[in-house]
Amino acid sequence: MNEIVTPQSLGLSREDLPNSYIGRSVPRPNARKLVEGRATYTDDVDLPRLVHAAFYRSPHAHARIVSIDTSAALKLPGVVRVFTGADLARVCDPWVAVLAHLKGMKSAPQYPLPLERATWQGEAVVAVVAESRAAAEDGVAALAVEFEPLPAQVDMETALSPGAVVIHPELGDNLVFTRTAETGDVAGAIAAAHKVVEATFHTGRHTGVTLEPRSIIADYNRADGTLTVHHSTQAPHMMQNVFATQLRLAESDVRVICKDVGGSYGIKVHVYPDEMAVACMSRIMGRPVKFIADRFEAFGSDIHARDHRIKGRLAVDAEGRFLAFDIDDLTGIGPYSVYPRTSAVEGNQVVNLCGGPYSFPNYRCTTTVVLQNKAPTCQYRAVGHPIATAVTEGLVDLAAEALGMDPVEIRRKNLIPDDAYPCTSPAGMKFEGLSHHQSLAKLLEMVPVDKIRADQLEQRKRGVYRGLGFASFIELTNPSPFMYGIGGAKISAQDGCTVRMDPDGSVVAMSGVTEQGQGTEAILAQIVAHGVGVPVSKVRIVTGDTRTVPYGGGTWACRGAGIGGEAALQSAIALKEQILEVAGAMLQAQGSSLDIVMGEIVDKATGQARMPLSELGRIVYYRGDTLPKELSRELVQTRHFITKEYPFAFTNGIQASWLEVDVETGMVKLLEHWCVEDCGRVINPLLVDEQVRGGIVQGIGGALYEHCIYNEDGQLLTTTLADYLVPMAAEMPDMHVGHVETPTKESLLGAKGAGEAGTAGAPAAIMNAINDALKPLGAKVFAQPFTPERILKALGTIA
Amino acid sequence: MTTRIDVTLTVNGERVSRSVDTRLHLVDFLRSELGLAGAHTGCEHGVCGACTVRLDGEPVRGCLVMAASLDGAVVETIEGLSDSGEIRDLQEAFVARNACQCGYCTPGMLVTAADILTASPQATREEIREHISGNYCRCTGYQAIVDAVEDVLKARAAKREAA
């Protein structure tokens, strides 16, 4: 395993080995269409007889639907039809989002549009279909919907109290799921500890804000009974199964096509009731229906995430060794668990990940997942990681302070040793190979700590408060069926790739993983070019069409490179072997004595060119009569890959944030940010660095700005981009990214995921930096986002 | 309930005449009436910048300009800027630096960045960051975009000096 030839393994520069594209910053072949405005997002697709949908959304957090009067809407010019929940339920079965391996989990059946009650403000209640989106919105405005407002359960802290509003009475209470992981003797360790530090953390409910909103066109063709869905999605095959199952169609009669996607970050991997409604309406009307969410709808109906309150304790001995983590997590997920991944996974991840980078004997962590009348939450980039990392790293810094230790020293003392692998964490996570200490050492080469500490002291004398914060983290990537499949969800953890050579010697690869801008198609082209032996310019990649690409899971949990990339490598190697067999027959040589270099068949020993691939293609496809009769000549190969040894390939890393807090205004100014991460084999350093940087900035968003704020009635107050703040260019720091490479031994490629590392660690690093800055003033903050108001409150400036 | 107004304007060098709904804004006009899908709709109230196009030489929010007001106007979109080659170097720098990921913000970002190249040829990194602050990018974290614009500013300055 892992005997893959790279320039480094041969002691060569990347340029010296023309065939090796692994580890090279090749520009993305699909980037040019993006910079010329020639991409095809779902809204750019137009179809004959297309109609547009708009939704009437509940103005109440919780209300009974008394009546729906559609008469005025139907009289408007351009309005074609109006649909209620009952209309759509005739063609669509409800879904219940639970996973069997999350013991005791429960949730209520959910329909495309609710039948009796609206359970969050922003829930789609009635649909209007019209000739244009504008006409459909006119129709929505003309609907008369009468509601009987009901008491709303907004606060997650009281969701299980005796007086709580039980959102779905048939469930008995608002408890969705709870789980405790316990190892060792936490109570004993705490009782005997030298110091115990504790804090209560909050992570703010926030959301993904894909710049391209959720987008879908469903096109049911009565003539042949097929449903074609153009969908901005991360998981085309999963959605094919969902549409088929819920709409009672054969899976083979459903085709999901996903061209360009304008950002996803986990937002576009879920089943949304309004999108299911679009499929239902097309099924009923027999014509294509388009729905593009507007920004207001996106804030109220895209999944939210990270609405957690976490109480944490860390016990340490006198030398600063960690004895026990004791964590209690509470999360409110809205009125329904989201299908099919469920909304219990984020809390479950907190249980799996707290304390993750460290070696310690005793662990207890409980998550409690409850219903509330707010928008549903589910998996968003780095699911659970930023929460677990903030709690862990916040406690680590508190312990360092209590012991008078340096934050770097306490980490060095407790990080899992680099030679301890394989090992299992107290939470039960299996680690194949991590590099915490190498990563810390690399970070310390990059961060000028002494200079920063000197500057910090100097600035404090002038009343300027700067802070340096660190955060080690682990990240779960390359998931096996242990994530969803064993719970009964039809979410594929394996992935496939078909690679073929065409007559001109060019190569086409079709993959089940998908592209949302992270560069999947670029790395697949690099891997296939490397595996076959052709210039990367000769490789074309096809993704995002369930009718043509091998069955796969798409993009989630950082699996594209590690799973999809390995399938591509194996199929490319298989194609190369087949090509060489044919070449051997043509050149009267042993296939094993030949090689393919930059699109030429060459003698392996001498490197002498023997024949271009286009000549081999010409013979195979047009003059097959000249080849030996028994020679197999299938210049197309498919391989699938699934991880088998480990449930997940964990990665690791460490971040540092250097910032300044204006103690007069409470504003945080980010000065510089560093991240060292180990995603195994780096296929394209440029793309990995950009994944890390983009991820860091999404983490910064949650730490400082982004917050879905509800009032006590369950009304969402942040429904525009002027109210909900996302990071802008002027506030962002320059970010330095470094790598350690510990390839996974599960695959030849050795790649693990890199897309979520930045988001996992950034909030914790920023929190620790703010608290480091405020240390002389005796103030601390633990509730994200760290707004000026919260910082001024911590300083006692405001009440 | 809707009224229509006739407008004749120049879009990417071509004269177009349409009768437009008075409530139609520029970006929807470009996308739905002219099939120019390069400008994107992100927030529809002038915050995100995905719909930025050039109107009479200035970058504008396509969602804040009414199509009915455009009689006699000159509009340039990413399609026109690509065809003319005016920002070829900027586009190449975006590809080289991977300054676009999903690409949804990119056409608007390029129109804004093109404005820096002409309006502030000496811009510092901080000034570039300030200048593009009205264009949201959710993927990159902005650093690669700043790098790409800085590369082009330097290259153009070197070219001017050599000339």
Of A261, A517, A729, nearest to B146 by CB-CB distance is A729
Residues of A in contact with B136 (CB under 8 A): 211, 721, 726, 728
Contact by Cβ (8 Å): A671, A660: yes
Contact B95 A721 (CB under 8 A): no
Q: Is the pLDDT of residue A6 over 60?
A: no
- Domains A42-150+209-301 and A304-481+645-795 belong to one CATH topology: no
Burial of A450: CB neighbours in 10 Å, binned 0-12, 13-18, 19+: exposed
Query: Alpha-carbon dihedral of residues A325, A331, A337, A341, nearest 10 degrees?
Result: -40
Domain A42-150+209-301 belongs to what architecture?
A: Alpha-Beta Complex (3.90)
B73 touches chain A (CB under 8 A): no
Q: Calculate the alpha carbon distances from A515 to A437, A523, A559, A711 in Å.
A: 33, 10, 12, 37
Report strand pairing: A254-257 vs A226-231: parallel
Contact by Cβ (8 Å): A705, A697: no
Residues of B in contact with A730 (CB under 8 A): 126, 129-130, 133
Q: How far is A313 from chain B (nearest CA, A)?
A: 34
For B146, nearest residue in chain A (alpha carbons): A729
For A516, nearest residue in chain B (alpha carbons): B102
Of A27, A690, A758, nearest to B101 by CB-CB distance is A690
Contact by Cβ (8 Å): A700, A765: no
Task: Look at domain A304-481+645-795 and name its CATH class.
Answer: alpha beta
Contact A732 B139 (CB under 8 A): no
What is the average per-residue pLDDT within B91-120?
A: 97
Contact B103 A34 (CB under 8 A): yes
- Residues 6 or more apart whose CB falls under 8 angstroms from that of A337 comprise A97, A98, A105, A107, A176, A343, A344, A376
B50 touches chain A (CB under 8 A): yes
The values of phi and psi at residue A281, to 5°, are -65, -40
Contact A694 B140 (CB under 8 A): yes
Helix or strand or coil: residue A116? coil
Q: Tell me the pLDDT tens digit for each residue of A529-543.
A: 999 999 999 999 999
Q: Which two tokens stand for residue A102?
A: 């999350």
Contact B41 A517 (CB under 8 A): no
B148 touches chain A (CB under 8 A): no
Q: Is the pLDDT of residue A11 over 60?
A: no
Q: How far is A404 from chain B (nearest CA, A)?
A: 35
Alpha carbons A173 and A175: distance in angstroms, whole number: 6
Q: Is the pLDDT of residue B122 over 80?
A: yes
What is the average per-residue pLDDT within A88-103?
A: 98
For residue A20, name the pLDDT band (cuts at 50, 70, 90).
confident
Between chain A and chain B, the number of residue pairs with CB atoms below 8 A apart is 176
A8-39+494-641 CATH pick, 3.30.365.10, 3.30.565.10, 3.40.250.10, 3.50.50.60: 3.30.365.10
Strand partners, A175: A370
Alpha carbons B42 and A204: distance in angstroms, whole number: 24
Alpha carbons A625 and A248: distance in angstroms, whole number: 48
Closest CA to A395 of A200, A188, A657: A200
Contact by Cβ (8 Å): B140, B97: no
What is the average per-residue pLDDT within A124-140?
A: 98
B113 touches chain A (CB under 8 A): no
Closest CA to A691 of A739, A774, A623, A755: A755
Contact by Cβ (8 Å): A253, A533: no
Closest CA to B116 of B107, B103, B125, B106: B125
What pLDDT shows up at residue A17? 52
Closest CA to A787 of A705, A681, A692, A683: A705
B positions 77-106 inside 8 Å of A (CB) = 77-79, 82, 91, 94-98, 100-106
For residue B163, name the pLDDT band (cuts at 50, 70, 90).
confident
In one-letter notation, the amino acid at residue A55 is F
Of A37, A722, A730, nearest to B133 by CB-CB distance is A730
B12 touches chain A (CB under 8 A): no
Q: Where do the domains of chain A lie?
A: 8-39+494-641, 42-150+209-301, 304-481+645-795
Burial of A799: CB neighbours in 10 Å, binned 0-12, 13-18, 19+: exposed
Assess whether the previous peptide bond of A743 is cis (omega < 30° from 0): no
What pLDDT shows up at residue B91? 98
B22 touches chain A (CB under 8 A): no
What pLDDT shows up at residue A737? 98
Contact A212 B95 (CB under 8 A): no
CB atoms within 10 A of CB A75: 10
Of A40, A264, A693, nearest to B143 by CB-CB distance is A693
Q: Tell me the pLDDT tens digit for each residue of A45-77.
A: 999 999 999 999 999 999 999 999 999 999 999
Contact by Cβ (8 Å): A652, A475: yes
DSSP string, A482-530: TTTGGGT------EEEEEEE-TTS-EEEEESS--SSSSHHHHHHHHHHH
Alpha carbons B75 and A733: distance in angstroms, whole number: 34
Q: Calculate the alpha carbon distances from A562 to A170, A369, A531 in Å.
A: 42, 31, 15
**How does DSSP classify residue A271?**
-
Residue A680 backbone class (left: φ over 0; alpha: ψ -120 to 50; beta: rest): left
Q: Is the pLDDT of residue A411 over 80?
A: yes
Alpha carbons A301 and A213: distance in angstroms, whole number: 11
CB atoms within 10 A of CB A548: 12
Alpha carbons A85 and A273: distance in angstroms, whole number: 10
Percentage of residues in chain A having pLDDT higher than 90 = 97
What pLDDT shows up at residue A15? 45
Q: What angle do CA A589, A590, A595 make, to 5 degrees?
A: 95
Q: How far is B141 from chain A (nearest CA, A)?
A: 4
Alpha carbons B148 and A425: distance in angstroms, whole number: 43
> Could you give the residue range(s) of every CATH 1.10.150.120 domain in chain B?
87-158
Strand partners, A82: A128
The mean-pLDDT minimum among A374-378, A672-676, B1-5 falls in B1-5
Of the residues A36, A260, A672, A691, the best mutation for testing chain B's interface (the one with the most B CB atoms within 10 Å of its CB) is A36
Helix or strand or coil: residue A690? helix
Alpha carbons A340 and A107: distance in angstroms, whole number: 11
Of B91, B132, B134, nearest to A36 by CB-CB distance is B91
Q: Give the CATH fold of the B87-158 domain.
A: DNA polymerase; domain 1 (1.10.150)
Closest CA to A617 of A498, A497, A496, A508: A508
The CATH number given to B4-81 is: 3.10.20.30
Closest CA to A189 of A373, A3, A366, A362: A362
For residue A5, name the pLDDT band (cuts at 50, 70, 90).
low
Of A212, A295, A729, nearest to B40 by CB-CB distance is A212
Alpha carbons A396 and A368: distance in angstroms, whole number: 23
Alpha carbons A63 and A119: distance in angstroms, whole number: 7
For B48, nearest residue in chain A (alpha carbons): A721
Alpha carbons A509 and A501: distance in angstroms, whole number: 9
Alpha carbons A568 and A549: distance in angstroms, whole number: 12
Closest CA to A428 of A188, A742, A747, A646: A646
Contact by Cβ (8 Å): A217, A133: no
In one-letter notation, the amino acid at residue A182 is E
- Residues 6 or more apart whose CB falls under 8 angstroms from that of A466 comprise A452, A455, A456, A459, A460, A658, A659, A660, A661, A671, A773
Contact B138 A210 (CB under 8 A): yes
Q: What is the largest distance, in Å, between two alpha-carbon atoms of chain A?
A: 88
Q: Tell me the pLDDT tens digit for each residue of A558-617.
A: 999 999 999 999 999 999 999 999 999 999 999 999 999 999 999 999 999 999 999 999
- Residues 6 or more apart whose CB falls under 8 angstroms from that of B136 comprise A211, A721, A726, A728, B42, B47, B48, B49, B50, B105
Contact B101 A27 (CB under 8 A): no
Residue A389: in which H helix or E strand, if any? helix A385-403
Residues of A in contact with B95 (CB under 8 A): 27-28, 31-32, 35
pTM of the model: 0.97
Q: Tell me the pLDDT tens digit for each residue of A357-402.
A: 999 999 999 999 999 999 999 999 999 999 999 999 999 999 999 9
B49 touches chain A (CB under 8 A): no
Q: Is the pLDDT of residue A18 over 70?
A: no
What is the average per-residue pLDDT within A165-183?
A: 98
Q: Which two tokens stand for residue A369?
A: 């997942």
What pLDDT shows up at residue A4? 61
Closest CA to B39 of B65, B15, B71: B65
Q: Which two tokens stand for residue A493?
A: 């953890």
What is the average per-residue pLDDT within B103-126?
A: 97
Helix or strand or coil: residue A463? coil
Q: Calculate the average pLDDT of chain A.
A: 96
Alpha carbons B116 and B126: distance in angstroms, whole number: 12
Contact by Cβ (8 Å): A215, A295: no
Alpha carbons A722 and A145: distance in angstroms, whole number: 29
Q: Is the pLDDT of residue A789 over 50?
A: yes
Q: How far is A710 from chain B (nearest CA, A)?
A: 21
Contact A211 B94 (CB under 8 A): no
Contact by Cβ (8 Å): A80, A110: no
- Residues 6 or more apart whose CB falls under 8 angstroms from that of A161 comprise none
Closest CA to A370 of A343, A340, A349, A348: A343
What is the average per-residue pLDDT within B126-145?
A: 98
What is the average per-residue pLDDT within B100-111?
A: 98
